[in-house]
Amino acid sequence: MDIKKEAAVLSQFRIDTPVAIMEVCGTHTTEFFRTGVKDIFPENLRLIDGPGCPVCVTSNDYLDTAIAMGWQHNCVITTFGDMMKVPSSYSSLAKEKSKGLSVEVVYSPMDAVDMAEKNPEKKFIFLSIGFETTAPAEAVCVREAKKKNLKNFFILPGNKLTVPAVKVLLDSGEVNIDGFILPGHVSAIIGRKAWDFIATDYGKPSVIAGFEDYDLIRATLMLLHLLKDTTPKVLNEYARVVRDDGNPKALEIVYSVFTKGNATWRGIGIIPESGLDLKPEYADFDAYKQFPVEVPLPKEHPGCRCGELLRGVIIPTDCPLFGKACTPEHAVGPCMVSSEGPCSAYYKYGRK
């Protein structure tokens, strides 16, 4: 492998008219910066961040509901660490924890199941968020809880599917996107073919990319090359991990537990069939069904422009609060909190 040679080809790539490509994965957002690949982009090539950070696209009412459930029904909230500092309408999990709400961070959703099993006297709600990559793990946990006949483990369904979100962005035409760098690990689950519609229905090229510096360079080169071609295609730079049909076992497990439903995305609104609801046979594990709560109407910080960011309309430095009122230490919006959020990536690596 001669990464220097590949890097040189990329940096010298001649693009006659400006090109905008979008990545749809929070880890890609960060890695393009961290590896410096964004710095060697040729002239006329622009990278737009898409709705790829699962924490960022989670709307405020989800966290508001989780916090209300914790207090009103005396439940322990278990969550991935990324969610802790995300601002809700009126607070955050971290702030509520300091006021006495039981909140536990887990690395794997299975840890939440284990906690519930070991503490039968307490009720545990796992905040089930994440894209196609995370949903299979969460589905296994719900199945496991049912197998173990746990009566004190629940999930708050908040999973989202990236494919319908990409369709909405393409349909809206709000942003001009010439091609996509597609998420490697989402694709590991759903498969290369799940993206064919971008080429067949929208006539745009895309490339599934891995996460190393050479992956990003190669995927970008492949996309630039495809853009010169008249037949749009979906290429797979990450074939060492991503198969044409994805991981059928994982998909089978997901759809044995969940069924597609509406989901609300920050900045985009409700997208039909873009979320995962629990199937009726798993209703006993559904926190929405078991713990009804009253929550005040959600509100957004008036200055925060995460919504526009997640649609690719602006970049973080276009937000007047960026780096001033809003920093990782005092984040105004989720896009600055999550390690995969575009504002956090720009703040850490790309303030220029």
Of residues 302 through 341, those in contact with other proteins by CB under 8 A are 338-340
**Measured from the CB of residue 212, what is the shortest distance to other proteins in angstroms?**
9
Is the Cβ–Cβ distance between 144 and 257 less than 8 Å?
Answer: no
Q: Which does 109 bind (CB under 5 to 8 A by kind): ligand SF4, other proteins, none?
A: other proteins
Q: Whose CA is closest to 99, among 71, 119, 121, 126?
A: 71
Q: Residue 332 binds which one of ligand SF4, other proteins, none, with CB within 5 to 8 A depending on kind?
A: ligand SF4
Q: Which amino acid is at 49?
A: D
Q: Which does residue 324 touch among ligand SF4, other proteins, none (CB within 5 to 8 A, set by kind)?
A: none
Interface positions, 317-336, toward ligand SF4 (CB under 6 A): 319, 321-322, 326, 332-333, 335-336
Task: Provide the token pair at 351.
Answer: 């303030």
Nearest Cα to 47, choosing from 194, 184, 219? Answer: 219
Q: Which is nearer to ligand SF4, 86 or 209 (CB)?
A: 86
128 binds other proteins (CB under 8 A): no
- Angle, to 10 degrees, between the axis of helix 26-34 and the axis of helix 213-228? 100
Contact status: 48 vs ligand SF4 (CB under 6 A): no
- Judged by CB under 8 A, the residue of 77, 234, 250, 295 near other proteins is 250
Q: What are the structure tokens assigned to 325, written together?
A: 């009122």
For 49, 151, 298, the CA distances from 71, given in Å and listed in that order, are 36, 19, 17
Measure the CA–CA gap between 63 and 272, rounded to whole angstroms: 21
**Taking CB under 8 A as the rule, does residue 68 contact other proteins?**
no
Contact 112, 78 (CB under 8 A): yes
Query: Which residues are CB-contacts of 156 (< 8 A; sequence separation ≥ 6)?
Result: 62, 65, 66, 69, 125, 126, 127, 128, 287, 288
Among 94, 241, 293, 313, the residue binding other proteins under the rule CB under 8 A is 241
Given 44, 74, 148, 239, the residue binding other proteins (CB under 8 A) = 239
Size of site (CB under 8 A) for other proteins: 49
Q: How far is the CB of 66 from ligand SF4 (least distance, A)?
A: 20
DSSP 277: E
Cα–Cα dist 159/130, whole Å:
5
Binding segment toward ligand SF4, per CB under 6 A, in 167-175, 205-213, 263-271, 313-321: 313-321
Counting beta carbons within 10 angstroms of the beta carbon of residue 61, is it exposed (0 to 12), middle (13 to 18) or buried (19 or more)? middle
Note whether 226 binds ligand SF4 by CB under 6 A: no
Residue 84 near other proteins by CB under 8 A = no
> Which of 21, 23, 24, 26 is close enough to bind other proteins by CB under 8 A?
26
Q: For residue 304, state whether it binds ligand SF4 (rule: CB under 6 A).
A: yes
CA gap 320, 333 in Å, rounded: 13
Residue among 183, 305, 315, 345 that touches ligand SF4 (CB under 6 A)? 305
CA–CA separation, 25 vs 345, rounded Å? 12
Asked if residue 311 binds ligand SF4 (CB under 6 A), the reply is no
Q: What are the residues binding other proteins (CB under 8 A)?
A: 1-2, 5-6, 9, 12-14, 25-27, 54-55, 80, 82, 107-111, 130-131, 133-134, 136-137, 140, 183, 185, 188-189, 211, 218, 221, 225, 228, 237, 239-243, 247, 249-250, 253, 338-340
Q: What are the residues binding ligand SF4 (CB under 6 A)?
A: 303-306, 309, 316, 319, 321-322, 326, 332-333, 335-336, 343
